Amino acid sequence: MIETQRSVQTRACNDIQTDNYDDEFLHQRERAQSELLEVLERVGSKIARGPAPPFNEAHVVKVLEIIGDYGIVGRINLSNKLELGIGTTRTILKHLKKEGLIVSSRHGFAFSERGKKLFRNLRARISEGIEVPNSPLTVGPLVIAVLVRDLAHKVGRGVEQRNTAIRAGASGATTLIFSRNKLTMPSKKKHILKGISDIQDIVVSKLNLKENDAIIVGSGENRTNAEIGAIMAALKLLKSENEK
């Protein structure tokens, strides 16, 4: 009987410790995510000028992704990959440097320690864009899918993500959720996608989907428009987690 009581007490203590660890993990994730979004908004606001700003936070994300892929990259090479002018690229880099995210040398631009940390936080929640085949769900010739980790419960009907992508220059966007090892439509969670198995196979294999993940499938006349729209929609979904 004594041993049983001790076992119960031990199990209760372990449960409390687990709960405390989970709470601390969520707090740390929330703080890291808030810092990430604040930096993206600050840098994005420096380059988003005019009544219809052609540049946004998604372009800042692409700069971080390119630096993350190459380790160190020159301004001209970065400008070409972004399909942005040298002046705009210089402005983005200047503000990322002011934020302490990157450092420069005669070889090009690379992450600072803070930049590496922020990029890890970014990649923990949002994947890089991957090209997927056209399907009845897409409205443009080029289609890019972006994963948003553990936020399917925030999707709603997917209309907000679609509108955000269109405002960013995409032709459209469809939001899917991963539930019970299947991609489904958020508005009809019991409706398993049929006829577009190619999308599911590619997305599942390349993005390592987990329960409650969301996928933004952006469409555009070219890869840049589709990807920028999908990233902006992904960021919008990420911001919803911080909204009370």
Could you give phi then psi for residue 39, rounded to 5 degrees? -65, -45
Q: What pTM value is reported for the model?
A: 0.83
List the CATH number of the domain containing 54. 1.10.10.10
pLDDT tens digit string along 118-131?
A: 999 999 999 999 99
Residues β-bridged to residue 104: 109
* Same structural domain, 114 and 186: no
Q: Can you tell me the mean pLDDT for 1-21?
A: 53
User: CA gyration radius for the chain?
Assistant: 20
User: Given the structure tokens 């409706």, which residue do they identify?
Assistant: 191
pLDDT tens digit string along 55-102?
A: 789 999 999 999 999 999 999 999 999 999 998 899 999 999 999 999
* Same structural domain, 118 and 144: no
Distance CA 169, CA 16 (A): 48
Parent domain of 78? 1-125
Sign of the Cα torsion 71, 73, 77, 78 reads positive
DSSP H/E element including 218: strand 214-220
Distance CA 14, CA 19 (A): 9
Residues β-bridged to residue 109: 73, 104
Residues β-bridged to residue 102: 111
* Same structural domain, 103 and 191: no
Task: Write down the pLDDT at residue 186.
Answer: 78
* Same structural domain, 112 and 147: no
